[in-house]
Every structure is written in C-alpha cells, then in structure tokens.
Structure 1
Amino acid sequence: MEIFGKKEAGIIYINRPGVYVIIQNELHQIAFVRTVKGLFLPGGGKEQEESDEECLLRECREELGWEIQIGKKIAETGEYFSSPHQGQYYFIQGVYYLGEKLTKKWDPIEDDHLLEWRSPKLALPQIYPQGQKWVIQQNF
C-alpha cells in the first residue's frame, strides 16, 4: 500500500475505507467526477458491511447513473487527510479497480457531481486526492 501525507503525533484519525473505479472510453480518456473540490475517480466511502463491489455499484449509480462491470483490482493507497472546517482527521484507505461502463440506467442522485472524460495527462493537475493521482500516474 502506497501512503500519502504525514501522520501527526497525538492526532486521532478516523479510518475511512473507500473504493474507486477507473473506466476508460474508446479515446482512452478516463471518467472523472467533478465537484467544487476538483476531479475524483467515481467511487467513494464504503458503508458498514458493504463489499468493494457493492460500494462501487452504489457509488456509480448515485454519482453517474451508470451500471458498471468491475474488473481487476490494480492498487491500494492510504492517505492522511485533515478537514479543518470540520476539525476532523481521516486516514483514507483507497482500493482501485478497473471497470467498464455498461449503460446509463438511472438519473444520478448527486446533482453536484458532474461527469468529465479526460486524458490522464490533462487530468492530473486537477485530481484532488494524492492517492488517486498516484494510481493514474502509475497505470496510464
């Protein structure tokens, strides 16, 4: 597991497991979700007792309205992260899979999440989490 950020002494971190998928189109662009914070890979935090597959299927349905097929696992990362406005500290554990869009089946639930197809190279400066940026750099 590749680790990003620095664990500060005396800080209690909330463990936050998440699962993300990398989906490419025929132009070799990657599907990203844009929010006010930047670009992210589709996916997100796992809910209690949720498997990686269940999380990805739910997150892609909520964020994009997509039904997807999940492929092989390609990476795991950890990232120390603080949220100053919330006064919280997190250790985000990311698991990354390759995937394929099967169809757009639903309307997205999260209307502040917008789909953007980007080439890996052009997307890198705008990807927010360092772990996601590293996975893209290592694999594309």
Structure 2
Amino acid sequence: MNSFVPLSFRPLLYVADQKQQYQSRPGAYGLIFDPQRKVLVVEEDSGFFLPGGGQDPGEDLTETLIREIREELGASVTEFNYLLAADDCRYSPVYQRHFRIEGHYFLTRLENIHNLTPEPGARLHWVEVEEAISCLNRYNEKWQLGQFHGEIQIFPGYSTNGYVFCLMHNGQYDDKNLVRVALNEHGFQILEKNGTSTANVDRLVTYVHQLFLKS
C-alpha cells in the first residue's frame, strides 16, 4: 500500500446544472481487475458505479476505501495504490441532494475476488474496460478508467502533488513525449515539457488546459 497526499485540485468533468449549488462529498473508489483484466462494476437501481463511496466523518480516504469495499462486496482489501482524482456534480436520488462527488481512485487488490457478496438490491459485473467506460454513470469514473487505454494517459506525479501526461506508443509509456503538471488549491502549473516534436508537446499542453480549466 502506498502513502499519498490526496489531490486537492481536481479536474471537474461534469456539472448537471450550472445554476445549482453542490455539496462537497469526498469519496474513495476501487479499480479492481480480475486475471483477464476485466474490471468490477456495481449495478444499482440508479446505474453503474465503481465500488466505493463517500467518506464518513473522522475517516481518511484509505479507511473509507476499506470500509466501502467490505460493505459493498463483503471483501477484504489487501493492497491499494492511489491513482488519480476528479470531480462530478450531479443529483443523488439516494440521498436526495446535489453533490460535488470528489472521487479519489485506488488500484485495489482483494483477498479473494470470488464469492463476492453485494449489498441487497445490487449486482456485480466483471466487464471489459471499454464496456465499463460506456456504462458507468459518472464522468469522473469514466475518465479514471479511460487512463488505462488511449493515446494520452495520465499518471500520478509522485515527486509532486500532480500528474504526468504522456503519449503512448504501441501500448507503452513514451517518456520522450510528456508534460509534468503540479497542482495546488489555486490551480495548476506546467513544470516540464518534453517532446520529439512541437506538435506532440502542443497536443499534450492543449489536453492539460482543456482538462483543468474546467475546474
């Protein structure tokens, strides 16, 4: 399990109603894969979601993750690694409130992925990443899962509170084409730009601005 500082400046990927006020709701969510690289999603009456949920008073995010996985799956977490964070603003029919869901995502291993026990009324599905991206309700969850494939991928910047954006080449991380971004509560700062061409650098920088200027 890795140590981490939760990202305080996160991209805002969806707002259901620009005129609405949203209550902050931090949460921890697990990306759980089986040996065939299928990802676990939870189906509830209100839609499809990654396992996890909102942070209770007095918890840190790792405690939230462990509790939520135990409640939603009947399983024990044996390992987790902090990945990324992003927000999604929408109405919750369960709580009948408008939440800014501050999603913090962890690559998560369970003691046993077999014989999982969902909560009453919920159903569990192992699906391909592309299918999960299509069916998940929240845009921050779609975005996080999307970092496991695609031409631009994002990794935590472990030396800074931020991200590394890089181009992929034949499914491999290309360290010759990357942008390193530091985040704080006020915004983002581009620390480093590397590229084999101006076009590659411009493409990465444009993606960074499009993402974080929504926040």
* Contact 2:34–2:113 (CA under 8 A) maintained in structure 1: no
Q: Corresponding residue for 1:28?
A: 37
Q: Corresponding residue for 2:144?
A: 135
For the structure 1 residues 133 and 107, does the alpha-carbon distance in structure 2 shift closer, same or farther, using more than 3 Å as the test? closer
- Classify the secondary structure of the residue corresponding to 1:59: helix
Q: Corresponding residue for 2:18?
A: 8
> Larger C-alpha radius of gyration, 1 or 2?
2
Q: TM-score, normalised by structure 1?
A: 0.86
Q: Corresponding residue for 2:205?
A: none
- Classify the secondary structure of the residue corresponding to 2:145: helix
* Contact 2:29–2:65 (CA under 8 A) maintained in structure 1: yes
What pairs up with 1:58-97 in 2 under 5 angstroms?
58-83=67-92, 88-97=97-106
**Percent identity between the two aligned chains:** 27
* Contact 1:53–1:70 (CA under 8 A) maintained in structure 2: no
Post-superposition offset of 1:131:
0.5
- Classify the secondary structure of the residue corresponding to 1:76: strand
For the structure 1 residues 102 and 85, does the alpha-carbon distance in structure 2 shift closer, same or farther, using more than 3 Å as the test? closer
Post-superposition offset of 1:136:
0.6
- Using CA pairs below 8 Å that are at least 6 residues apart, which structure has the higher relative contact order? 1
Give CA-to-partner distance per residue, 1:53-86, whole Å, 9 cap, x none.
1111111111111111232211100111134797
Please say if 1:49 is aligned against 2:58: yes
Unaligned ranges ≥5, structure 2: 1-9, 150-215
Aligned positions, number? 139
Q: CA RMSD in A?
A: 2.4
Q: Corresponding residue for 2:160?
A: none
Give CA-to-partner distance per residue, 1:102-133, whole Å, 9 cap, x none.
12699747212222111101222210111001
Unaligned ranges ≥5, structure 1: none
Q: TM-score, normalised by structure 2?
A: 0.58
